[in-house]
Amino acid sequence: GESVGLHLPTLSVQEGDNSIINCAYSNSASDYFIWYKQESGKGPQFIIDIRSNMDKRQGQRVTVLLNKTVKHLSLQIAATQPGDSAVYFCAESSGGSYIPTFGRGTSLIVHP
């Protein structure tokens, strides 16, 4: 959901659970999507990307799902670990643009 003020949406899970982080986008022309992970005090790191001609893409312990009908993107993390605790951003771009638009992020907290 939308965050209020300085507070990011937060997802708290137990170690070993599966996590699902959601992202809604507004531009129906967006055709390239990326998920980034940002640990506290560090720069974002690439996790996985997906193009609009795909609905699903899998990586190591992560899966990205794209629903273009409702303009929704999700990141699924299997068997979440404490090291997965971070802020996760989705980013979108369209029309071959190299300039992505970033979402505000979701804070994932993994409890041991």
Partner 1 sequence: DGGITQSPKYLFRKEGQNVTLSCEQNLNHDAMYWYRQDPGQGLRLIYYSQIVNDFQKGDIAEGYSVSREKKESFPLTVTSAQKNPTAFYLCASSILAGGQSEQFFGPGTRLTVL
Residue 15 beta carbon to partner 1: minimum distance, rounded to whole angstroms: 25
Q: Rule CB under 8 A: which residues touch partner 1?
A: 3, 5-8, 31-32, 34, 36, 41-46, 49, 51, 89, 93, 96-100, 102-105
Residues in Cβ contact with 75 at an 8 Å cutoff, skipping those fewer than 6 apart: 19, 20, 21, 23, 35, 47, 48, 62, 63, 64, 88, 90
Residue 16 beta carbon to partner 1: minimum distance, rounded to whole angstroms: 28
The residue among 98 and 112 lying less far from partner 1, judged by its C-beta, is 98
The Cα 112–Cα 98 span in angstroms is: 38
The residue among 15 and 100 lying less far from partner 1, judged by its C-beta, is 100
The residue among 56 and 104 lying less far from partner 1, judged by its C-beta, is 104
Angle at 34 (CA atoms; ends 102, 12), nearest 5 degrees: 75
Residue 6 beta carbon to partner 1: minimum distance, rounded to whole angstroms: 4
